[in-house]
Copies of this chain bind each other. A is one copy, B any other.
Amino acid sequence: MANTKTEGGEILSRLKSGGYRLTKIRKSLVQFILNKKGHWTIQDLVNDAKHLIPKLGVATLYRTVSLLHKENLLTETRLGGASARYEVSTQEHHDHLTCVSCGEIFEFENDRIEELQRQIAKKLGFKLIDHRMELFGECQRKPCKFKSKR
């Protein structure tokens, strides 16, 4: 797929017409963030973006992420006392499997479940539009990347 890395040009224009100023920092940050894969925390961003913009402050990261979240370009997930995790919003649907120990989030998709969901909705007289499913469990990886709370 040629589209893995987006230039973000259209998104930048969209932000601009939304009344946001396009500073150098914001431009490279938005582009950087929207090209990130998986579920990351602000802390991840702090580490990764240091190379990009040496004197970047955390506040800017929080503010930028918040901005993108407000614009529905990022999806937020939270669990336990851990920090919020974000992922770039996608059209393609998927569900989440979250480790309650380490906070890691895995994605999955299962057609049979989706089919059953449609059946259930139908039986209850609904036309299914969307759904959200989140599983919680404990991953077997030792050690878990983060501290266990047990």
Contacts and interface: CB of A to CB of B under 8 A. Distances in A.
Contact of A125 (B112, B127, B128, B141): B141
Contacts of A2: none
Contact of A70 (B127, B135, B150): B150
A120 B139 contact: no
A100 B121 CA distance: 13
B116 A110 contact: yes
Contact of A120 (B70, B97, B128, B150): B97
A129 B125 contact: no
What copy number does this chain have within its complex? Answer: 2
Contacts of A48: none
A59 interface: no
Given A116-B110, A120-B108, A137 B126 contact: yes
Interface in A6-29: none
Contact of A135 (B110, B117, B138, B149): B117
A120 B109 CA distance: 9
Given A113-B116, A113-B117, A116-B113, A135 B141 contact: no
A81 B139 CA distance: 26
Contacts of A76: 80
A135 B114 CA distance: 10
